A and B are shown apart, each in its own frame.
Chain A
Amino acid sequence: MTNKYLLKAWDFISSFQLTIASLALLMILVLLCTLAQVPLGTYGAVNMYMRSFLVWWGPEGSTWIIPVFPGGSLVGFVLTLNLLASTFKRLKLTWAKAGLWLVHIGLILLVSAEFVSAALQVDDRMAIEQGQTVNYVENSRSMELAIVDVTDPAFDEVFAVPATVLAKSSSVNLPGSPITLNVKHFFPNAELTNRSPVDPPSIATMGIGPSVKIEERAISSNENEMNNTSVLFEPVVSGRSYGVWLASIALGAPQSFTHEGHTYTLSIRPTRHYLPYALTLKKFSHDKYAGTEIPKNFSSLVQISNPSKGESRDVLIYMNQPLRYEGRTFYQASFGKGDTLSILQVVENPGWLLPYISCVLVTIGLLVHFAIMLRRSLKKRQEKVS
């Protein structure tokens, strides 16, 4: 009895119908995802339709949502299962099918590459001004509250609290420091304006905070819109309160307070990851075609210094020519400040080689298969003639 059901399930999983249905669902998802990019932005649309198991929907303004469509991850998963099952069921392990085997293995690899990058890829960036040396990358999608002891001019001691922690806790101890932070209010997104005399007073008592009016805003997933992560908090050092401060990504220069001869700066900034090596921007170049504004090329001449390896060398990063170093890839992404600032996109994706391998496998596979078919049809033709 169980056997019969198992067989039926196996037939279903390995069926052509399932292949076609999955491909069709994927097509619909691709269409929906493309259309949704206008209101949601690429990131939001991809998260909603592609990198989810189910597509959720709820009426505007209400809090409940229901799944209305399978998401890209689910369809991709089913398609992979179907591909595996049908490969083993239908494909005989013979040389005549060698091409098709390669094609199917390549496809499985390609789909898994998308899963790997959805799960493991980290996108950071590094902004370096000419002459500057930077040993960290920043993650533009997550913020942190940085309390930096800048007393020693040669060395900064950094205490950082991720925004996700600020959102959850009311009090945070900074390990290794005498500071405790009491979080008064956390804003994932907010609008900051100058306080007018008629506005109610701010909770903030120190720094720029009292003169700023802050209003909470809904989080935007559109990458063209910035979430102004902000927090109202009270630093307490060894039992002594230093008042309530406002820190926000929308504020420019960091604010600071002094405790027993130690000066601490406060700011919200993109989360930093420090690297065991540093990059120095020697020169950024940006050429245009004569008499036009059409960019001809962008390039950054950087020096990598890695003391742990005793390495120090120059590298030119330019369009279509990234630097791959220690598991990270540095791409020329952007520039600014009158061509003296270079912004590098820094990507960490352990699966970056998979699509390359997959592409080679599928191409070879299709070529082998077509060659075998061609030989067969030529043979038939010859037999007809003779």
Chain B
Amino acid sequence: MSKGHAPSTEKRRPDRAALFIAVFLAALGGLIFWDTSRLAGAGGYSGVGPATIPFVIASGLLLLAAWTVFEALRGDFPVRERQEVGPVIWIIGGLAAQMLLLKPLGFSIATGLLFAATAAGFGKRKLWFTIPIGIAICLGVWLIFAGLLQLSLPAGPLEHLFW
């Protein structure tokens, strides 16, 4: 991990992404406050109830958000490595496809698509080749884990041919 200092040629500018993180942390803290405020009366005789710890955590998150703003303004966040968007979208797409197709098409087809999409994210883009391989591997996995180990993996049209 490279230690974070902005390049010396540039002036240290507020780090926008880091400010966004601070907003996220503050929002998370606010959400906890909002949700648990309705439990505040349930403290019992010790004064410590289900809302106490969430309040402490939410306060901690707000403090951390403030601290993050401070570091972001000083440019103390580490330099990020350049991220390529394409591979990330392939993999997220694969996971989303698996999530949506799992119930209608069964484990093997849905996960086979994830397999091929991940391989594509890592540079193997020949989908006509990777999708059948992925589905075949996943069917094998399904037969072992659902058939022999009794794991409840959703079955689809393909699985019903075998089981």
To the question of whether A and B form a pair in one complex, the answer is no
Binding site for A on B (CB under 8 A): none
